[in-house]
Amino acid sequence: MDAREVAKHGSAESCWVVIHGEVYDVTSYISQHPGGATVLLRWAGKTNLKDATAEYAKVHSPSTVRETLSKAKQLGPLDETTREYMRPDDGAAPKHGSEVAAGEDTASHINLCVRIDDFTEIARKRVSEQAFVYISSAADTQQSHQDNLAQWSKVTFVPRVLRDVSRVDLSTSMFGQRCAMPFFIAATALVGLTHPDGEAGLARAAAARGLHYSPSTYTSVPHATIAKCHRQAAAADGSGDSSLFFQLYVQASKDNTLARIRAAKESGYRGLMITVDTPCVGNRDEDRRLKAREELELGVPEPRSGDKEAKVVPGSNSGGLSRSLSWGDLAWIREAWAGPIALKGIQSEEDARLAMEAGVEAIYLSNHGGRQLHSAPPCLATLLRIRRRYPEVLERCEVFVDGAATRGGDILKAICLGARAVGIGRPFLYAMGAYGPQGVHKAIDSEFHHDPLILHSHTSADLHAVLRHEMETTMALLGATSITELKDNMVNVARLERDLDLHSVRCSNERPYKL
């Protein structure tokens, strides 16, 4: 395909893009693209220096475009000898954290990041606006996200003194798989927006630090590649404590869902986390505002009022996800997976009980980082309701939680209340965007070293650790030496309970499906 021909197709009326040296006609797909029209139009007919490959690779696996577009829209390879005739580039892409020169911003030196929040503003400066808005956005006015942040301060500790805390052990397990600390890297889509390593970088960090990691269904790096990088890093580290758990968005197509499950099993993922709170994509104001501004800047035609395609039905954007997913579907998913399962997105004590009765190994209390339902309950509120109404759930199921935990003490509060582990998502994306893989290692444990032998040494670098250091310090001050010693009598939840009308919660006998 001659580049001069490609250059003629740089508008919404005829939009061709080049990805991995192949030319694709995406004109008819513009209105369907989940990321909006501007992402495609920005790279229409470009470039003489680079094409859409780098931007595409941040959010998609190599095979996605071929699986999405029909054969007729796959126009063939670009004639590289004619590339110089393509439309010029609009400018350099923003630098990633690892590409920023060491002396470029001394006020942002990684050693000055002493808590998880410190990575956020550095990332804001170093990743694209698109990436930062995607990571930071939440539903509607962001009330759900703000409630997530506020919940942790409503629980206080009740420490014990005069106990020997000379040794503190943070290890625990998830799905029967040992891990070094009681938190895991939660599923977040499109990690490649923050750094070229994408999910592979998070997998390596998890393996090196003995943490579990749950990659999203929608990754920038193929799931098999993530698993390979994880195995290699685990072999170099030698601890063997880290496992991968596949986060599953059930697709509208059952065949597609089964194919994803089979691929995860073949790649060695050891647990399945089924997201159940996303029959459609939530309303995220900041995402919509950014897309609208980009469309105006690119001159994307405004929808006409009489155009049927312009009609927008609230909550209709499912992104290919199943809107009919129900309790009855767990049977065929369990049969296909044949391994431990968690339901991710439980937000009521009634659903927690139903999940227990359905026989899942774990329930995952989460409101999707506040990104789905406006005014959704934070995880600790749901956990307290379960403790009051159905304490047997905590005895029969492992409980995972997430929702804006930003301190090691937050993680331990959840453990005291009965959680097995806490998922951390956004903070690791900010750390990756700010400093690359080095930032992720710093956020978890200590500074990053390329030499695996140095990785194990207990040097002054350990003093710069964030979450591990905070948890070890908090454990010692609480008078606890192991995770099993963290009990509910070590926390005071009176302030959080005042926000809950526990007596108004009706104990229902509903069974929306046949057991």
Does 301 reside within a domain?
A: no
DSSP conformational letter for 72: G
Does 126 reside within a domain?
A: no
Does 127 reside within a domain?
A: no
Token digits for 78?
Answer: 């670009």
Helix axes 129-136, 426-435, angle to 10 degrees: 160
Give the CATH number of the domain where residue 481 resides. Answer: 3.20.20.70
Q: Which amino acid is at 290?
A: L
pTM recorded for the entire structure: 0.84
Does 463 reside within a domain?
A: yes
Secondary element (H or E) of residue 17:
strand 16-19
Does 58 reside within a domain?
A: no
Mean pLDDT, contiguous 10-residue spans, the chain (515 residues): 86 88 89 75 72 81 84 89 64 50 62 94 94 95 96 98 97 97 96 96 96 96 97 84 97 96 98 97 91 82 51 49 96 98 98 98 98 97 97 98 97 98 97 96 70 34 72 97 98 92 50 43
Paired strand residues for 172: 179
pLDDT at 2: 86
Does 383 reside within a domain?
A: yes
pLDDT at 101: 41
pLDDT at 356: 98
Q: Residue 140: how many CB atoms within 10 A of its CB? A: 15
Contact 145, 284 (CB under 8 A): no
Range of the domain at 400: 160-281+319-503
User: Closest Cα partner for 173 from 86, 218, 76, 240?
Assistant: 240
Does 145 reside within a domain?
A: no
Number of structural domains found in the chain? 1
Does 368 reside within a domain?
A: yes
Secondary element (H or E) of residue 133:
helix 129-136
DSSP SS3 for 177 = strand
pLDDT at 48: 56
